[in-house]
């Protein structure tokens, strides 16, 4: 059995796997599960640009080939159509495990978070790879602490309509820590807060993509409930930077990765109006069950230990997403670019 340090050719004297200063980093072999999805495809771009070899494993449940098509033909890039619920044999140094039906309209039907995570941890254990789990702020449920620190254990309804996702990710975190403690697998856990940007699914029901698509199509923005619930929206490049720092750093986590800028859904609708169409109408709809009232990350831990904090505000990031949505909705053929 290999350890991560051996895998990187660093020997057992360096259990953290940290590459000593002055030593040139060799290209790594990296699996990104869910790499054809929104966040995954941006991560793949950065890893390829850095000179690593990347294998994307995706079943295209919500991901799209178009998101990674610009890497086809690059010998450092491979794409495998595979459902991570089934076992998978590969030889790699690092595993970014993002595969997950991430939107409320999709996630109810799938054991990916539990069985898929178990398989990827089994793979990490067998080959001595470092494993990063993309967990979620949803592990805090409808939080009773505000903002949420990583030490907060959350307030989750175990039998609610959202619980397949919340509890699925909580179980994934548990499995990750068990493989770390029990089998010595090197692990990292990120708790991601609401993220937006180019290549987001257009019709998966998330609020930023809904509002942007609605404003572009001259449809009313659908605000659920009274619109006073809050979320904190992070631009995708900030998240990818955080994920890479976490993977390369020495700390297991969990780490909140999110932008602390907090907005009500009505405020978000106003920013979308300012950015796309000041005349866009707002329409109120009944809210979904168990909708968290407030959400805002406390990112002190990531600031201190990863030297990370988001750089792109909502007002700066939203226009970058709008041009991508405009191209995709109105049929311009330049898909996949950002």
Give contact residues for ligand NAD (rule: CB under 6 A): 33-34, 36-40, 57-63, 83-85, 98-102, 112, 116, 134, 136, 192, 194-195, 201
CA-closest candidate to residue 46, choices 179, 182, 238: 238
Cβ closer to ligand UDP: 258 or 336? 258
**Binding stretches for ligand UDP (CB under 6 A):** 87-89, 104, 118-119, 122-123, 125-126, 194, 206-207, 210, 222-224, 229, 231, 265, 287-288, 291
**What region, left, alpha or beta, does residue 51 occupy, with left being phi > 0 and alpha being psi -120 to 50 degrees?**
left
Cβ closer to ligand NAD: 86 or 283? 86
Q: Select from ligand UDP, ligand NAD, none the partner in contact with residue 265, using the beta carbon and a kind-dependent cut-off of 5 to 8 Å.
A: ligand UDP
**What region, left, alpha or beta, does residue 57 occupy, with left being phi > 0 and alpha being psi -120 to 50 degrees?**
beta
CB neighbourhood size of 22 (10 A): 5
Largest Cα–Cα separation, the chain: 63
Token couple for 80? 């495998």
> Tokens 């619920």 sit at which residue?
85
Q: Select from ligand NAD, ligand UDP, none the partner in contact with residue 223, using the beta carbon and a kind-dependent cut-off of 5 to 8 Å.
A: ligand UDP
Query: Least separation, in Å, of the C-beta of 16 and ligand UDP?
Result: 23
Question: What percent helix, strand, coil does the chain show, rounded to 5?
Answer: 35, 15, 45
Query: Least separation, in Å, of the C-beta of 49 and ligand UDP?
Result: 28
Q: Select from ligand NAD, ligand UDP, none the partner in contact with residue 39, using the beta carbon and a kind-dependent cut-off of 5 to 8 Å.
A: ligand NAD
Query: Least separation, in Å, of the C-beta of 191 and ligand NAD?
Result: 8
Q: Select from ligand NAD, ligand UDP, none the partner in contact with residue 118, using the beta carbon and a kind-dependent cut-off of 5 to 8 Å.
A: ligand UDP
d(CA 331, CA 325): 10
Q: Give the nearest residue (CB) to ligand UDP.
A: 122
Query: Least separation, in Å, of the C-beta of 192 and ligand UDP?
Result: 11
Q: Residue 232 forms beta bridges with which residues?
A: 262
Cβ closer to ligand UDP: 23 or 161? 161
> Tokens 């069950």 sit at which residue?
289
Could you tell me whether strands 262-264 and 230-232 are parallel, antiparallel, or unpaired per DSSP bridges? antiparallel
CB neighbourhood size of 205 (10 A): 13
Query: Least separation, in Å, of the C-beta of 17 and ligand UDP?
Result: 19
Could you tell me whether strands 187-192 and 77-81 are parallel, antiparallel, or unpaired per DSSP bridges? unpaired
Cβ closer to ligand UDP: 104 or 184? 104
Catalytic residues: 165
Cβ closer to ligand UDP: 189 or 265? 265
Token couple for 112? 């990916």
Q: Select from ligand UDP, ligand NAD, none the partner in contact with residue 84, using the beta carbon and a kind-dependent cut-off of 5 to 8 Å.
A: ligand NAD
């Amino acid at each position: 059995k290999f350890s991560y340090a051996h895998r990187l050719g660093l020997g057992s004297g360096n259990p953290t796997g940290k590459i000593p200063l002055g030593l040139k980093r060799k290209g790594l072999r990296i699996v990104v599960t869910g790499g054809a999805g929104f966040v995954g495809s941006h991560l793949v771009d950065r890893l390829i640009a850095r000179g690593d070899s990347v294998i994307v494993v995706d079943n295209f449940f919500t991901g799209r080939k178009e998101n990674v098509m610009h890497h086809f033909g690059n010998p450092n890039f491979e794409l495998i159509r595979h459902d991570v619920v089934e076992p998978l044999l590969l030889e790699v140094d690092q595993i970014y495990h993002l595969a997950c039906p991430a939107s409320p309209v999709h996630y109810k039907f799938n054991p990916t978070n539990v069985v898929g995570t178990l398989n990827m941890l089994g793979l990490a254990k067998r080959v001595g790879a470092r494993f990063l789990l993309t967990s979620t702020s949803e592990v805090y449920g409808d939080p009773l602490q505000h903002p949420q620190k990583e030490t907060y254990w959350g307030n989750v309804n175990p039998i609610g309509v959202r619980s397949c996702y919340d509890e699925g990710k909580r179980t994934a975190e548990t499995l990750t820590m068990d493989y770390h403690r029990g089998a010595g697998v090197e692990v990292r856990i990120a708790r991601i807060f609401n993220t937006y940007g180019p290549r987001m699914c257009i019709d998966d029901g998330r609020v930023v993509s809904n509002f942007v698509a609605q404003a572009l199509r001259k449809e009313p923005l659908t605000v659920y409930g009274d619109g006073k619930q809050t979320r904190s929206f992070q631009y995708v490049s900030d998240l990818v930077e955080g994920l890479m720092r976490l993977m390369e750093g020495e700390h297991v986590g969990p780490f909140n990765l999110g932008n602390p800028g907090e907005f009500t859904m009505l405020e978000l609708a106003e920013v979308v109006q300012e950015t796309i169409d000041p005349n866009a109408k707002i329409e109120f709809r009944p809210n979904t069950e168990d909708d968290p009232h407030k959400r805002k990350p406390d990112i002190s831990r990531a600031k201190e230990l990863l030297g990370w904090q988001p750089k792109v505000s909502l007002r700066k990031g939203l226009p970058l997403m709008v041009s991508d949505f405009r191209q995709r909705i109105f049929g311009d053929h330049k898909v996949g670019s950002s």
